[in-house]
Structure formats: structure tokens, C-alpha cells
Amino acid sequence: MKVKVQKERAGCALTLLIMIVFCVIVLLFPVCGSVSLAGWVQSPGHPQGYDPHSNLTWKKCAPTGHKITLTLIHLDLEESFECEDDALKLYADEVLLFTLCGRKSMKELQASVNPFLHSSPGGCLSASFLADYSNTERHTGFRGFYTVQDVNECMDPENECTQLCNNYIGGYRCFCRPGYILDSDKHTCQVSCSEDRTGSQEGVLMSPEWPGPYPENAVCSYTLAVEEGLQFELTFTGVFDVEKKENGECIDSLTIKPLSGDAETLCGRDVPSSLLTRSQRVEIIFKSDHKGANRGFSLYYKTRGMKCTGPVTPKSSLYPQDSEYLTGNKVTVKCDKGHVLKSNESAEVEYTATCQKNGQWSPVIPCEPVDCGIPELPELMELSDKDHPTTYLNKISLKCANKYYQLDKNDNFICNAEGNWVSESGQTLTEDLPKCEAVCGMNTEVSFGGRVFGGKPARSGQIPWQLFHKQLRRGGASLISDYWALTAAHVVDGLENTNMTWLGGIVNSQDRNPVTMEANKIIIHPNYQRVPVGGDRKNFNNDIALIKMSARVQLGPNIRPVCLPNTTNGPVMEGKMGTVSGFGGFEQGSTSAILRYGHIQEYPSEQCVFEDYFVTDNMFCAGDEVKRVDSCQGDIGGPLFFPMLGYGTKEQPYEVRGIVSWGPARCGHVSKSYYTKVQNYLGWIEETMANN
């Protein structure tokens, strides 16, 4: 009984204490206006007990500079697993702190719960109580006492006051020690050290508290200014000690800022050299951070007469040359090689400038690099890099506009001092302009086997240089550039003045979409012997002709030129097989609508004797007696090319070594025919193409 009475007295004493605190806070109510500074929060029906389905939601927020605290003095709720039946949930600033149920004594609440029931400054506390549908015994619920308290911001190390802090109800303020002023951020104390020395021509400037360590958070601005015609010379005396990092970056800094020109920032321990400012007005700015014990600087300043120095403008030189020039001195400014005066249409490179009283030159005309501009290029050619600079000493390179062409020589040019693009040999672009020549001897598909007489059909792109003519006289030709084709003279003999149409890019003569080429010129070899109409030809010497088309042939995957031979003597096919192609006969008495090809070899002339026919060194015999491969009527003028189809490479492209010329009347009977030896006519071909 005695113990129970003592507990009741202790409880009454605590309640009385809380009531006294409550009364004191109520007396201070006007301090916070309409905000309640203290009060109680309890479960419905407390202390008699709460009913089933009871609930309560409570929330209180503190004003700026205050926080709210809650002290639980009683807790008696139904005990359940994880408080899933009856529960009191407590939150601080919307964050759940505790979920409580069961019974806890005042001592337990004080030890494990109450120390954490407070908000952040200006934050909120909230509680949510919810009971389920029934309890096996009656529980009294909970009760707590909340108070709104001032926050002592000066105890917060993050309040950012650099020197002194004064706390008051609802806030705090920073203030400074004597000799310092509060910055506009209301937190930083700065030393008051700015000084205007306008008109002073000689004197000493020192960091604050020199020769002792300079104070923290110093921002000092010293202004030096005199009349026009004078400039300041600065000389550092004694110790120079301005804090910097090991990597050389300035922590504190001394900045010399003239009226014109670049500012110079100094720090470290090396005494700077004397500085001639070349300015009648100089601002000297000293800054320090919030820590350190460095000694600072001392400098002596004086004035001297203003002088001009060179250069007047970059990329130029002065005449006469001197280290300094007096006011009124005149100089000739001459642009360096490859540079001209800016915005000068006459491309002048020099002018006269005069030294002014302020130490500046007038006039100042910049020198800019010569611009060669974007060159005019012929059709099919373009710059490798369209956005590349075109000024002095910059380089450009050229390329052909599509992959079916390549440059015939060096493609690099440099912009010279005269504004011309020149090659490595020193010739101008117009004198040494490369040409885009059609890539020859390359096809887009490879295959093996087949014959012309009874041969195998070609596929698109296999023999892209094959041309075909089926009007007036059936025959073939070989495209050797994007303008010229090569054929046998007797294919075009007598047709020089006709509108001769050639077809290309096809493997079927009935194709409705061939590349159509109109002949502009037909040039037969001058030593070719023409036979009168109705005459019997026995001599096919010099059986070669060139055809120039009226327009550039649009090259593509199915129409590309074949190369000319790169040799002028020796065996035509070097003892290997070549390939002949055409739209001629492939069986006795029939011609082919399909392009066919076959592989043949070269034979000595003594093995190819045809009665009464005239054989010269300008022709050679080829065929295949074993497989009975041969050219035939309708193949006349077409190509015999090497290496054999399927074996051409970039290193050894296909070359037209022979032109189908003449042979036995019956195709396949002997399986040998004669071909014009193209290598004997390279000079005539090149000269004719160049002159026409």
C-alpha cells in the first residue's frame, strides 16, 4: 500500500510540473501570436478508455525559428503483433518515427520515445490513432503534452556566421568584431580596407595588418589614377606571402587590373618582378578566404611618362624598330607574309600609326591572313573537306565526286601568300589541276567458265565495258573512258556520218532500259585499208577505230570502262587465258540476244593459217581448240580482255588486249580467230583522244 501511494504521489508531482510549465508558456502566448505554444493531445475517452473503432488525427507545426516537441506521459493500448489491432503512429516532418501499442511506463517513454519526438526548425509533428472493432479488456489510451520552443541557431555550426552570432526568439543574426564590416550576405565579416588614391603619383600599398598576417575574408580594392600621359610602375618590397595551393592555384590573391590590357593575378611566396602597367589608372584587388596565417604584400608605386611599344597589331612588324616609342612618334606597320590589312579591297599590307598620349597606337588596323577562297572545280571533282579553312598556309585536298572515278595525280594544295592554291611542286591549281579519270578494269560480279560460241550468259556487272550496236551492222565495242569506246574499224567503216547508237549496261539486247549513247565522232585508223562496196576483204591490218560519244557516259555498277594495256611489246596474254565476250553467234547459224563470254588462249600465227588472208604483227590469233571456244559473227569489235574473267584485282585490273577482228567463215569449225593487237596502237589512241 505504501509503494502504491508513493507512485501515485510521483505521478501527481509530474503532472503538476507539466501544468506549471503549461501555465508559464500560456503567459508567453503573445510572443508567437496565434500559434499555440503548448497543449495536450490524448486518445478519445481518456482516461476512462476508448471505444472500438476510435480514431484521432493530430498535427501541429512550429513557426520559423522554433521547433515543436511532444512528451508522452501515458500509454495503454491493446497489445498485438506489430500493432496491427490498435496503434498510435507518430511522425516528424512527415517521416514515421514510431508505431506504438501495449503499455509503457513513464520511465520507458522517457528513455526510448520522448527524446525523439521533436520537429526540425519550422517543421511539424503529427499523430494518428486508430482502434479496431473490439478489445478483450478496456484500455485507457494515451496522453501527451506538446510545447513550441525557440531554436538556438547560434549552436548550429552550419549557420555560416564567420565571427559572432546573436540568438533571439524566432531567429538569429551575425555581427562582426571591431574593424570588420558585415557583407551583403549578412553572414560574412570582411575587413574594411578599400582605398582611393586618385592623384597620388607615389606611395606604398600594403595588405591589411602588415607586417603581421592579413585577416580572413578580406576584399580590398585600391584605386590608383593620374592624368593622361603618365603610367604606374609597381615594385614589390620585402616579403611576399599570399596563400596558394600546391598545384599552383591561388587560394588568396592579389590582382593588378590596368585600364586596358589583361589583368594579372599573383599569389605564392616568390616576390614578383617590377611591373610597368602602361595605364594611367590601375585597380589593385586583394582577396583572402576564411582561414590562413600568411603575411601578405607590400608594394611601392610611382609614375613615369607613357610610352608605346610594339607590335601595333598581331602578325605585323614596325619600322623603325625600337623597344619603346615616345608620344608623337610615327611608325610604319607592315603585315607579315601571307597577311593583308583587314577589309582592304586593294590587299595593301602596310600603313602609318602614331603613338598617343595614353600609350596606345592610332590607327590600329588588324592584319588578317590571305584567303584563297573555295576554288572553282570542274565537273566530277570536289573538296575532300568542304568546311576546311581556306586562309594562308592551310591545305585542301581534292577528290572525285563518286567512286567510279579517281584522281590522276596528287590532290593536295596549299594557300600561298599571293592568295593562290599551289601544289607541292609550286604550280598553281589551274596549272596543275588533277583530273578525275574513270576507274577502269573493275567489275561488280565475278564468275567462271562459259563460252561465246555456244558459251555461257554473263550476269549484270560482270563485263560492264561491253557495248553493243545492232542497227545497220551488228557488232560490239569496249568502253575505255566516260567518253570514248574502242572497236574494229570495219564495224564502223562507212558509217562515220550516220547517227550511230550504242547500248551499254545490259546483258540482254532486248532490255528496255539500256544506257543509250550517241556517237559524236567516229575515227578510223588512218592506215586502215578501206574496201570498195562489194569488194572482198582479205586484209584486216589496222582494224581499229575510236568512237567519241556526244555526252559523258553516266557510269555505274553495270557500265564502267576497261583499261588499256600497260605494255607495248611481248606476248599479248603472257601465256595465260583471257576472256572474249559479245552478242554474236553461239550456235551454227544463230546469234545471241544474251551477252556471252568464254575463255581463250593465244596461239602462234603459224598455227592459225587461213588461206588468202593477210596476217601482220598488228594482229594475233586466239581461241580454244579443246573446248571449242571462239568468237563469232556479231562479236566483231568486241573485247578480248585479260586477265581471265574472275581474276581481276585492283593491282591487276582488266585490260582490253584485243579487238575481235576476223576469222573463219564457220564459227567453231577451227575455234581460232584473229584479234587486233591493241598494245600496238596505244600512242595513236592517246593522241587521238587528246586532240578530239
Binding residues: 78, 86, 132, 134, 150-151, 153, 167-168, 171, 243, 252, 289
Please report, for residues 9, 482, 515, 548, the alpha-carbon distance to residue 551 in angstroms, rounded to integers and kept in the order given: 121, 9, 12, 9
Sign of CA pseudo-dihedral 79, 82, 83, 89? positive
Sign of CA pseudo-dihedral 279, 282, 287, 293? positive
CA–CA separation, 442 vs 607, rounded Å? Answer: 33
Counted residue by residue, the chain has a size of: 692
Sign of CA pseudo-dihedral 545, 547, 548, 553? negative
Q: Look-up: residue for cell 601568300?
A: 417
> What region, left, alpha or beta, does residue 472 occupy, with left being phi > 0 and alpha being psi -120 to 50 degrees?
left
Give the strand order in the sheet containing 264-266.
Answer: 195-198, 219-225, 281-287, 253-258, 264-266
CA–CA separation, 499 vs 375, rounded Å? Answer: 39
> What region, left, alpha or beta, does residue 41 occupy, with left being phi > 0 and alpha being psi -120 to 50 degrees?
beta
CA–CA separation, 375 vs 388, rounded Å? Answer: 12
Give yes or no for a cis peptide into 47 (omega within 30° of 0): yes
Strands 195-198 and 219-225: parallel
| CA proximity to 356, closest of 364, 347, 346, 348 | 364
CA 607 to chain centre: 68
How many other C-beta atoms can be found within 10 angstroms of the C-beta atom of residue 280? 22
Grid cell locating 528: 586502215
Query: Could you give the angle at the alpha carbon of 215 between the alpha carbons of 211 and 219, nearest 5°?
Result: 110
- Helix, strand, coil percent values for the chain (each to nearest 5): 10, 40, 55
Q: Which residues are annotated as a binding site for Ca(2+)?
A: 78, 86, 132, 134, 150-151, 153, 167-168, 171, 243, 252, 289
Q: Look-up: residue for cell 610611382?
A: 302
- Whether 333 and 349 have beta carbons less than 8 Å apart is answered as no
